[in-house]
Every structure is written in C-alpha cells, then in structure tokens.
Chain A
Amino acid sequence: MKKTITLLLALALALSLAACGGSGSGNSGTSANSGKSLTLNVYNWGEYISDGSEDSYDTIKEFEAWYQETYGQAVRVNYDTYASNEDMYSKLSSGAVSYDVVIPSDYMIARMREEGMLLPLNFDNIPNYSNIDESFKGLFYDPDDQYSVPYAYGIVGVIWNANEVDASDAEGWELLWNEKYAGRIVQFNNSRDAFGTAMYKLGIDVNSSDTADWDRAFEELKAQRPLVYSYVMDEIYNMMESGEAAIGAYYAGDYFTMLDAQAPSVDLQFYYPDNTNYYIDAMCIPKGCQNQELAEIFINFMLSRDAAVANAEYTWYASPNKIVYTDEEYIEEMGEEAMEILYPPMEDFAASYNELAYRNLSAELLDYINTLWEGVKIN
C-alpha cells in the first residue's frame, strides 16, 4: 500500500509538472515536424547564447517570432548544447544526428572542413556578413571564407588577485612561475593549454612539429609543478572568486564572469602577456543539414544588431561584429575597463592570430604530448 501511494504521488507529480509547463512551447520536445511549421536544429556550447535569464534578450524566442512575422511561417528551434568541441565532433561524425547550425572553435572547423563535414555557405542569404570585421576574414581555419561566420573570440590572459600579488610582479608569463607565490598558482588541466603557457613563455611556436620543442616546454612545466596549487578547468571560477588561488590564466571574457562573483576580500585583475592564445568560435552548417536556407537565415539573424549585442553582453566574450563593438549602448553596458581588455588595440589581428592560435596537431604528436603531460602531473 505504501508503495502504491508513493508511486501514484510520483506519477501525479510528474504528469502535472509535464502538463503545466507545456504551455511555453506546446511541444513535448520530440523533433517531429508538426503541420507546416519548420524545424531548425541548433547545436551550441552550453551557456553561450543570451537566453532571457536575468531579463536579458531571449535569442531563440526572438528569432522564432521574427521569422513568423517576416515569412509568415512558424519555425521551431531545437536548441541543444555541448560541453566541448570533441563532444560535438563525436556526436556529428557518428552520423547519428543532424544539426543545421553548429558553432565550433577554429581548429575544429579546420578539421571538419578537411574531413568534408561542412557545407559551403550561400552568402546571398547572409547579407549581415558585411558587419564582420575584415580582420576575421581569410584566417587559417577557413582561408577562402566559404564555410564559417565568426561568432565570438577570446584571448587568454593572466588573472591575479591584487590583494595578494604585488603589482610589480604582474607581468608576462613569468608570474605563473614566480616562486614567491608558490602554492597560490593554478594551471590549466589540459595538455594543449598548459603546454601553451610554457611555450609562449619560452617563445616557442605552439604548433611546432619538433618534439624537442615540446620537451623544452615539458621541462618548464616540471619546474612549475611545485608551485602549482591545482590543475583546473572550470573549477578556476570558484577558486579565483573565493581567493582560494591567487594566480591563473584564463580567457578574458571569463575574467569578467569571475569579477562579477568575487568575494569582498578578493580584488581580481587581468593583463595580457606578450604572446598568448587566441581562439575564434564560428557558425557553420554541417553536412546533413535539413534546411540550409533556414540555417543561413538564422546565422544572418545572429549577426543582426539586437541579437549580436545581447549575446556579446551575455557571454562576456569579444565580438567580431562591427555593429557590436561600435554600439554605444553596448560600450556603456560593458564599461570602459572591459572594452579595453576585451578589445585590445592590435596592429594586425589576423597575423598574430594565424601565428599564435592552436592548430590541429598530428595524432602521433598529440600522443607524445599527452605522455609528457602525464609525466608533469605525476611528478
């Protein structure tokens, strides 16, 4: 009897929740094409679009409404998320699912392009592409600008707690190797980024195919090992915000997310070392797309003023879209300091980007690096 009641209660609860919440979209989530309404499947990073929380702009809803108004046809966007480029790649390459729009990072775009997983875009449907800054065209991952439209970019810098670290020490990659702050430093917990910090410090090409270069970086990381408090990825947010660690390298946009939540006893600051990592995430249409024109219209919408500004404000990453970083409202919302950090003056972005961004490495080299990386962490 006890179990009957538990079960009935659980059932009633589940059904009522499912029923009362259903009014929002009216569809239980299966990707069925009901009636004449179109379906667009979008696959993006988690927390990487303005979603209406805290009174922000709800990009997906706005697109659905705008499309209905402009074309007189209902469209339903299935918006799914992934946690890493590799997750997205394995899902798509298994052939199990098809998405209409994906937003991978540069090196992954290069790989997908080489493997024939992307469709060339029809820019007649993406007139807003002209809003993209010229510096973001003709880059290594898409030299002929056929397959991708840049969405956001970021640069790695050093985050430090001014209540603990002397301002005079806060310079270059050396801060992450400064023995004065032993046990207060956090380092990336993935081989590519961690080796990157050492290689930028030593002035080595991060895409070098010479194993001797990687051995040198390995020695550097081993020397840093006793100073490191912890190897982290997204744990860095809580560690820096609470003052548990004082020095770490991460993306400029994420620095502002941390700043937003820092404890009163913490005073986080940020600077760029001379050589550092750049990344660009760009919108692409993968093979297997069910409605390419609709996907292109969506990409064009993402480049329009309201959506682009809202997304840049929500994610705190820099936008390659001219109408975003020249928008007065956006500049005011971000503040002077943030604008200076997010959009550092650069003589030739494309040249530094092509030189310093991570590229795809051969499988053997990746194996070699991972073996070295295990050596760093074990000792």
Chain B
Amino acid sequence: MKVTSKIYTAIIFIFLFAPIAILLVFSFNEAKSLSVFSGFSLKWYRELLRDEATLQSVRNTLLLAVSAMAISTVMGTAASVGIMKLRSKWLRATLNVATDIPMTNPDIITGISLMLMFVFVGRLLGLANSLSFWTMLIAHVTFCLPYVILQVLPRLRQMDPSLPEAAMDLGCTPMRAFFKVTIPEIMPGILTGAIMAFTMSLDDFVISYFTSGAGFQTLPIRIYNMTKKTVTPKMYALATIIFFVILALLLISNLTDKKEEKQKQ
C-alpha cells in the first residue's frame, strides 16, 4: 500500500512539473529546436532583454494587473461593508447572487459583452478608438471584483459587530472606528482578495483579447499572436523567469511565516 501511494504521488508530481522542467531546459538551448539540445547558452535571455515589444507587453500586463488589483480591492471592500449593512435579508441575498454572476459566467461571454458595450458607448461618444487601456482596466476590475467580495464578506461576517460599536462608545467617530477596528480585523481577507485579483488579471487571456485596443497588448495576447510562426525560445526564457520569481515569492512568504510561528510559540 505504501509503495502504490508513493508511486501515485510521484506520478502526480511528474505531471505537474515535467512541462515546466522541459520549458526550463530548452530556454537554455543554443539552437531554436525543441527536439535537440545542442548546448547550454544564455542566448535566448539576451534576445528577450533586447525584444522591446515583448518587454513592453510585460510592462502592460503588470501595469494592468496592479491597477486592476488596487481598484477592485478598494471597491470590493467597500461593497462588502455595504452588503453587510443591508437590513433586508432578501436584498442582501440578491446582491450576493448578482456579484457572483460575473464569476460563474464563461470568460468568452464576459469578454464579448464587455466589448459590445464599449463599442456601443464609443459610438455614442463618436470615438475612433473605443477600446484602450481604460476599457481593459474596466474589464479587469469587473471580473476581479467578485473575487475580492468573496474573500472579504466572510471575514466581515466572522467579526464581532460589537467591536466597532465599542470603539464608537469610547469616543471614536464612525470613520475612525472603521479604519482602526474593522479594517485591521478583516485585513487577511482583503489581502487574499488583492492577491487573487492580481493573479486573475495577470492570467487573463480571453477577456483581454476582446477588450484590447490599439497600442496596448498584454503578454498572453502577444504570445497567442506568435502562433502563425512558431513561438520563439525567447518565450521559454520569459516563462522561466516568471516561474522563478513566483517561486522566490512563495519561498520568502513561507519562510517568514515559519519564523512568525516560532516567535508566537
């Protein structure tokens, strides 16, 4: 039994990591080929750093992800507080469902409907380019928002409502009580929501594809458009870098986590 479980685990890990390993190895390949490893070289990393168009698309992706995260976190937290304050149970349930719909909607429908709306409004305003960075940002905030609410709302529910009341009893203004008591109390939810919004935005292809305008293409769109010819090994190099950055982030956060646990003990 023990052996089978070990084999099972090994297989799972192979399927999870073999593709990444292959990508990693071939990013150091000297030749263009995916079939032959002809020698170790940093050539594709140099090419990547010189490819201004790809770097621009990476910057676009990051700019979009950070902006979408910031806006959707603030809006989502405010929305959750608002939903909690609702007296009517029926209204609260309706709002909950309404915010869940964009999350369960297939991306392609969200993408097309947003595009249609932007084009419609653009025509009304007489714009030549109705799609731009701003429409993409609106689209990203739209699909990130439900994830933030999903994280923050349960935290608010868990919080003892008498805490901010006590603060106000002791002389805090409602505003001050909110920032001094409520916010610290629900902080973990806000942070998880923000991280989710960031990753969702970074990852998105379908919605971005439909709402991108002239002069602002994100990395996933750029890679997709390379498929007429082959995707160059530069992209393996880029993917390897992204993988290691994320790995480093995970390691650092896990290490600090361990330290904290020890301190608590």
Contact = CB atoms under 8 A, between A and B. Distances in A.
A30 B56 contact: no
Interface string A180-215: 000000000000000000000000000000000000
Given A7-B194, A9-B252, A46 B55 contact: no
Contact of B132 (A31, A51, A243, A290): A31
Contact of B130 (A9, A78, A84, A96): A96
Contacts of B227: 46, 83, 233-234
Majority secondary structure, B binding face: helix
A28 B62 CA distance: 11
Given A81-B222, A97-B131, A22 B260 contact: no
A29 interface: yes
Contacts of B192: 3
A4 B183 CA distance: 14
A24 B56 contact: yes
Given A3-B195, A83-B224, A83-B227, A31 B59 contact: no
B260 A1 contact: yes
Interface in A77-127: 78-84, 94-99
Contacts of B214: 31, 41, 43, 78, 80, 97-99
Given A31-B216, A97-B213, A46 B257 contact: no
A129 B257 CA distance: 66
Interface in A1-18: 1-7, 9-11, 13-15, 17-18
Contacts of A146: none
Nearest to A242: B35
B123 interface: yes
A interface residue count range (under 10 / 10 to 19 / 20 to 34 / 35 or more)? 35 or more
B229 A254 contact: yes
Interface in A169-187: none
B58 A21 contact: yes
A237 B232 CA distance: 12
Majority secondary structure, A binding face: mixed
Contacts of A14: 62, 65-66
A39 interface: yes
Contacts of A269: none
Contacts of A288: 128
A161 B192 CA distance: 54
Interface in A37-59: 39, 41, 43, 45-48, 51-54, 58
Contacts of B187: 4
B226 A46 contact: yes
Contacts of A28: 59-60, 63
B132 A263 contact: no
Given A25-B52, A83-B228, A263-B33, A30 B129 contact: no
Nearest to A94: B119
A4 to B, nearest CB: 6
Interface in B230-245: 230, 232, 234, 245
Contacts of A95: 119, 122-123, 130
B260 A2 contact: yes
Contacts of A17: 58-59, 62
Contacts of B134: 30
Contacts of A11: 66
Contact of B249 (A6, A15, A78, A82): A6
A13 B229 contact: no
B154 interface: no
A78 B35 contact: no
Pairs of residues from A and B, 3 with the lowest C-beta to C-beta distance, nearest first: A78-B215, A242-B35, A46-B225
Interface of A: 1-7, 9-11, 13-15, 17-18, 21-22, 24-25, 28-31, 39, 41, 43, 45-48, 51-54, 58, 60-61, 78-84, 94-99, 233-234, 237-238, 241-243, 254, 257, 260-264, 288, 290
24 contacts: A3-B195, A7-B191, A10-B195, A17-B59, A18-B59, A24-B56, A29-B133, A30-B215, A31-B213, A41-B214, A47-B228, A60-B53, A78-B216, A81-B217, A83-B225, A95-B119, A96-B129, A97-B131, A234-B227, A237-B230, A238-B230, A242-B36, A243-B35, A262-B33
Given A30-B133, A30-B216, A81-B225, 13 more contacts: A3-B253, A7-B198, A10-B249, A18-B66, A24-B56, A29-B63, A29-B216, A46-B228, A54-B47, A79-B53, A241-B35, A242-B36, A261-B33
